[in-house]
Amino acid sequence: MPELPEVETVRRGLDKWVAGRRIATVEVLHPRAVRRHVTGAEHFAGLLAGRRVGSVMRRGKYLWLPLDDEDALIGHLGMSGQLLLQPVEAAAETHLRVRFSFDDDGPELRFVDQRTFGGLSVSIGGAVLPEELAHIALDPVDPLFVDDAFIERMRKRRTEVKRALLDQTLISGVGNIYADEALWRARLHGARDTSQLSRPTVRRLLGHVRDVLNEAIGQGGTSFDALYVNVNGESGYFDRSLNAYGREGLPCRRCGSPIRREAFMNRSSFSCPRCQPRPRVRALA
């Protein structure tokens, strides 16, 4: 699933190519793509026609496009969603779900989603911050993120540190890939008990989280397949810089020990057995 760097890369592309343009028409080709818009596809399209798009915003892994009259178009990419800018005459993609045309007759915005886990909806009055996203915490690359508050909140939770990093009500935008990468840099096993971590340790981990996210943004995110691309259809290349995630059996770039893979919440965690020893007693979730 796209994490913060991938969504931020898409946000920047949308802000460059869509902000300031007026939507002419909206064509919903698959109702599941707008299932979160409970009043249906026709209402969704009618609300957006004729609206001008403002500067594109992001909260964690969600995007929203402020509209005139204080509403907002919310987007979540899910597992395979793509927001692509395409020439009007370009052939429709196999998994094209929603098509937006603009009154300047320039490139269309297309929502393409193979697995249809992503989706779009309109938030009434949500231009500043959609109510639907208000429960999501700030992310560590947001200038309003308060490090000290995060450190105290994490240390008060009796849970595993990786679970805490994935808790979008505590810190948003971090998923499985970047949690593993930050934990590798911090030399922490993901099962460490947050309540047993010192303030300097949590602060150091947060610094690594922020560094990993910023580096990944600079490289356009991580693409393991064709499902994640930016608005121009280009893949990110941070996968070349991964130190832990997906490297089972390969030597740790720090000590040479083979990277291990462990089951974690129906997914996998990757870590170094020497640099990131397991805690003697696993934390309670």
Q: Is 192 annotated as a binding residue?
A: no
From the list 3, 8, 160, 181, the catalytic residue is 3
Tell me whether residue 2 is one of the annotated catalytic residues.
yes
Give the chain as a DSSP string.
---HHHHHHHHHHHHHHTTT-BEEEEEES-GGGGTTSTT-HHHHHHHHTTPBB---EEETTEEEEEBGGG-EEEEE-TTTEEEEEE-TTSPPPTTEEEEEEETT--PEEEEEESS---EEEEETT-SSS-GGGTTSPPPTTSTT--HHHHHHHHHH--SBHHHHHT-TTTS-S--HHHHHHHHHHHT--TTSBGGGS-HHHHHHHHHHHHHHHHHHHHTT---SSTT---TTSPPP-GGGG-SSTT-TTSBPTTT-PBPEEEEETTEEEEE-TTTSPPPSSPPP-
Tell me whether residue 258 is one of the annotated catalytic residues.
no
Residue pair 166/176 in contact (Cβ under 8 Å)? The answer is yes
Q: Is 115 annotated as a binding residue?
A: yes
From the list 42, 267, 277, 282, the catalytic residue is 267
From the list 2, 66, 107, 140, the catalytic residue is 2
Tell me whether residue 267 is one of the annotated catalytic residues.
yes
Nearest to 95 by CA among 80, 73, 107: 80
Q: Is 95 annotated as a binding residue?
A: yes
From the list 11, 51, 58, 61, the catalytic residue is 61
Tell me whether residue 61 is one of the annotated catalytic residues.
yes
Residues serving a catalytic function are 2-3, 61, 267
The binding site comprises: 95, 115, 157
The binding site for DNA comprises: 95, 115, 157
